[in-house]
Structure 1
Amino acid sequence: MTPRVHTLANGVRVVCDPVPGLQTVALSVVAGRGARWEDESRSGWSHLLEHMVFKGGGGRSAKQIVEVIEAEGGHINAATGYERTSFQIRALSHGLDLGSQVIADLVQRPTMDAGDLKREKQVIAQEIAEAADTPDDLVFELAQEAAFEGQPLGRSILGTTKSIAAATPETLDLWRVGLYAPETLVVSAAGAVDEDELLRLAERDFGHMAPGRALAVAEPTQFAGGVRAKAKRLEQANLVLLLPAVGVLDPDYFTLRLLAEILGGGMASRLFQEAREKRGLAYAIDAYSETYSDVGVLGVFAGCAATDAEELARVAAGEIAGMTTLVDEAELARAKAQLKGSMFMGRESALARAEQAAGQVLMFGRTLDPEIVAREVDAVMAGDIARLATWILGHKRSAVAVLGPKTALRAAPVFEAALFGLGAVDFTPTY
């Protein structure tokens, strides 16, 4: 069944996706705004706000919020991204009523106690420090910073200790009113859900929200590119290689997904076979695409011995460049099967369905029929992939992050020189 979308009078949209045979329901309340709407002085506020609303709301303490959900056999969680913030509940079917009440309290009636805020700033400071101490977190942040330097997408979702310190209960609550405004909200339920009941609950809990204070429109983002090479005493070198790509709304979105799948999406992929199986250069290596509404990246991540980092960078550059020539039909068919398989397998989770439907409504204004999406994947031809790869490389721009022993840091300029045919590259690593 295709999920049905309804719009309340104040702009809140409601998606109902019944799944026969399930005894549980997943409810996601998703705001179509996140860290991308922050300026530098408010960096990390969306994530801080997500933490703070769990400290109390609607007359319940932090402990009571969790207890009432778990007493009904449910689980509650939340996540902040660059372009959306999501509150999620998984529960037995009769838990939808309570779940809707609790999330409505978090979004609309949080306590915002000054003492809680002070403690939560300390918690997030530890989270920031933990990310800095975790190589495979830090290297991705360095690459993101290089790709989108000076722009919201180039800043960590966690923010900085300085920007977090500036928030007060009053200013953070004003931020909440804009971030969780009704016109940005989608209430999405999947699983054992009745459409009439969901609409009644959505109207009761979200239908009376007043329009929010408008936040500044997120500015278009440009891929900047650059190098972040940082020496750190580690056993392995960690590499992230990024190239500019298309966003979710671009007609080449599925072409990008297939390009990444062929390049490094699994054990049969080109990078895995060449770098790991044939040459033994890396235990972990994969390619991926990361997409936002208007921009995206094609990425490669690898962990390797520091002494192998330069050779691995050359191999990765060669495999990326090889995508400009036509892939064979068997390789393309395998990539299509993998992509469709992951999409359909994901839909076997009620929470994934609820989140996916909310994301589609926020991005496209409607849900997408999986069978039609599958046909769009099948319509991609080998020539489309070669064309997109040529377009990507035509920018002659990359963002490279290397984290590890000093001997690995030269991998950054080596990658750019190998991929773009550059001569000697000036390079000053960060120690």
Structure 2
Amino acid sequence: MTTPRIHTLPNGVRVICDPMPGLETLALSVVAGRGAASEDLHRSGWSHLLEHMVFKGAGARTAREIVEVVEGAGGQVNAATGYERTSFQIRALKGSLPLGMDILADLVLRPTLDPRDLIKEKSVVAQEIAEAGDTPDDLVFELAQAAAYPDQPHGRPILGTPKSLKPADVAAIDAWRAALYAPDRLVVSAAGAVDEDELLRLAEAAFGSQPAGQGAPTPAAPQFTAGHAAKLRRLEQAHLVLLLPAFGARDDDYFPLRLFVEMLGGGMSSRLFQEARENRGLAYAIDAWSDTYADGGMLGVYAGCAAKDAGPLAALTAQQIIALTDGCTDAELARAKAQLKAHLFMAREQPLSRTETSAGQALLLGRLFPAREISEAIDAVTAADIARVGARMLKPGLVAGSVLGSKASLGAVDVFAEALKAG
């Protein structure tokens, strides 16, 4: 199968078609390469609020008519707002590409934006914000994000706050829509039962006449800071997030970082799962992950544990990071490579995952990466690369994180920092 190509319309909109022979379904994504990180403090949460608003009516359809016509074609419509990307997605049966393009173009370009709906959606988002605050394993991540990136867009909650949403009126939200979804940062991506000629014709008709305008600003690279957050809560479990500075999706060490994370806490054979849960019984849930933005990122570990075990668990996590930096075995590196490739290639078997991956590659990297090239890049990673990645993250001496739980757990991030320093 050939690698799909990126086509660019005269106004800058990029179009990607990724046919998957034999499928009876398709996925279509319209992705903007901007999100909450482009907001200033006074517009915090506006991108997410806008995502809500476009579904209240767009083009000639009401909110109910949008979902009825999509579901009538066997489809589902959804959207997501991130720090550096906003995505609108439709999955549907073969032959639904014209309808999907019509719906998504209306959502992005022609939302109704009724003032009465705006009042209601502010209330809905306020409830969403309150729900996140009441959910410990949501709140602990929000606290950690703010601690790592204080006074920066990447450190503010994507949902915003009731205070920052209050001044948003229809005119201001529509102006933000035009900036956020400017054509030079839009990608129209389709996969599955799709035809390239049909997609290009539909994309040109739907998005080709959109005039270029003043787009939302390019987000500044997030600057990782040594921030600690601890919040006292009467909970059965303590929730911990421990963070180290990492690097972005365009960095040459992207795949070594992914493999470092996999060996540290990516699965049941990982070091943290085996040592913290299986050998010592310090945590029921523990895993590692990496957030990679365009420029910059972080490695994180989340754990849920008894309050009395939060300190020992944080110290153990630091010890395992240091030990992995000191060296990994050939066997665990081979397992991590197999797991990472399986994760990436299983995702490639799903049309929606392919549309989103292709759009992300086009926006961040300016080209598409065939599976073979990704596989070769993963296979090329050595134990020395893993050691270098660990040293890069430890060298700045910066630690951030958060703890949510009873008093006995609140010093866990300090314990993590001290254990890294001592190691």
TM class by smaller structure: over 0.9
Residue equivalent to 2:304:
303
Q: Is the 2:144–2:400 Cα contact (8 Å) retained in structure 1? A: yes
Moved over 4 A (4+): none
Residue equivalent to 1:51:
52
Residue equivalent to 1:398:
399
Question: In structure 2, what residue type is equivalent to 1:27?
Answer: L
Distance in structure 1 (CA, Å) of the matches to 2:24 and 2:187: 23
Once the two structures are TM-superposed, the CA of residue 370 in structure 1 deviates from its matched residue by 1.1
Distance in structure 1 (CA, Å) of the matches to 2:220 and 2:350: 34
Distance in structure 2 (CA, Å) of the matches to 1:391 and 1:195: 43
TM normalised by structure 1 equals 0.97
Q: Is the 1:264–1:270 Cα contact (8 Å) retained in structure 2? A: yes
Residue equivalent to 1:414:
415
Distance in structure 1 (CA, Å) of the matches to 2:304 and 2:169: 41
Unaligned residue ranges in structure 2 (runs of 5+): none
Give the % identical residues.
Answer: 62
Taking the TM superposition and a 5 Å limit, the aligned residue runs for 1:180-329 are: 180-329=181-330
Residue equivalent to 2:86:
85
Residue equivalent to 1:175:
176
Distance in structure 2 (CA, Å) of the matches to 1:265 and 1:307: 25
Once the two structures are TM-superposed, the CA of residue 411 in structure 1 deviates from its matched residue by 1.3
Q: Is the 1:146–1:400 Cα contact (8 Å) retained in structure 2? A: yes
Residue equivalent to 1:426:
none
Residue equivalent to 1:385:
386
Please give the per-residue CA displacement for 1:357-399, whole angstroms capped at 9, x wherever unaligned.
1111111111111110110011111011111111211111111
Distance in structure 1 (CA, Å) of the matches to 2:158 and 2:374: 30
Once the two structures are TM-superposed, the CA of residue 212 in structure 1 deviates from its matched residue by 2.4
Once the two structures are TM-superposed, the CA of residue 202 in structure 1 deviates from its matched residue by 0.3
Once the two structures are TM-superposed, the CA of residue 246 in structure 1 deviates from its matched residue by 1.0
SS at match of 2:137: helix
Residue equivalent to 2:359:
358
Once the two structures are TM-superposed, the CA of residue 7 in structure 1 deviates from its matched residue by 0.7
SS at match of 1:324: helix
Question: In structure 1, what residue type is equivalent to 2:180?
Answer: L
User: Are 2:144 and 1:143 equivalent residues in the alignment?
Assistant: yes
Once the two structures are TM-superposed, the CA of residue 421 in structure 1 deviates from its matched residue by 2.4
Please give the per-residue CA displacement for 1:8-49, whole angstroms capped at 9, x wherever unaligned.
111110000000110011000000000010000000000000
Q: Is the 1:13–1:186 Cα contact (8 Å) retained in structure 2? A: yes
Please give the per-residue CA displacement for 1:241-260, whole angstroms capped at 9, x wherever unaligned.
00000100000000100000
SS at match of 1:9: coil
Question: In structure 2, what residue type is equivalent to 1:369?
Answer: P
Please give the per-residue CA displacement for 1:114-143, whole angstroms capped at 9, x wherever unaligned.
000000000000000000000000000111
Please give the per-residue CA displacement for 1:88-134, whole angstroms capped at 9, x wherever unaligned.
00011111101100110111111111000000000000000000000
Please give the per-residue CA displacement for 1:135-192, whole angstroms capped at 9, x wherever unaligned.
0000001111011111100000000110011100000000000100111110000000
Q: Is the 1:11–1:183 Cα contact (8 Å) retained in structure 2? A: yes
Once the two structures are TM-superposed, the CA of residue 214 in structure 1 deviates from its matched residue by 2.6
Residue equivalent to 2:15:
14
- More deviation in 212-221 or 238-247? 212-221
SS at match of 1:282: coil
Please give the per-residue CA displacement for 1:314-361, whole angstroms capped at 9, x wherever unaligned.
111110111221211011011000000100001111100111111111
Distance in structure 2 (CA, Å) of the matches to 1:170 and 1:398: 42
Distance in structure 1 (CA, Å) of the matches to 2:144 and 2:418: 18
Distance in structure 1 (CA, Å) of the matches to 2:35 and 2:216: 11
Taking the TM superposition and a 5 Å limit, the aligned residue runs for 1:40-79 are: 40-79=41-80
Distance in structure 1 (CA, Å) of the matches to 2:377 and 2:130: 43
Distance in structure 1 (CA, Å) of the matches to 2:196 and 2:218: 33
User: Are 2:133 and 1:127 equivalent residues in the alignment?
Assistant: no
Once the two structures are TM-superposed, the CA of residue 217 in structure 1 deviates from its matched residue by 2.6
SS at match of 2:284: strand
Question: In structure 2, what residue type is equivalent to 1:359?
Answer: G
Distance in structure 1 (CA, Å) of the matches to 2:217 and 2:33: 13
Distance in structure 2 (CA, Å) of the matches to 1:42 and 1:421: 42
Taking the TM superposition and a 5 Å limit, the aligned residue runs for 1:99-138 are: 99-138=100-139
Distance in structure 2 (CA, Å) of the matches to 1:92 and 1:235: 46
Once the two structures are TM-superposed, the CA of residue 215 in structure 1 deviates from its matched residue by 2.3
Residue equivalent to 1:161:
162
Distance in structure 2 (CA, Å) of the matches to 1:99 and 1:373: 30
Q: Is the 2:239–2:304 Cα contact (8 Å) retained in structure 1? A: yes
SS at match of 2:328: coil
SS at match of 1:101: helix
Q: Is the 2:222–2:297 Cα contact (8 Å) retained in structure 1? A: no
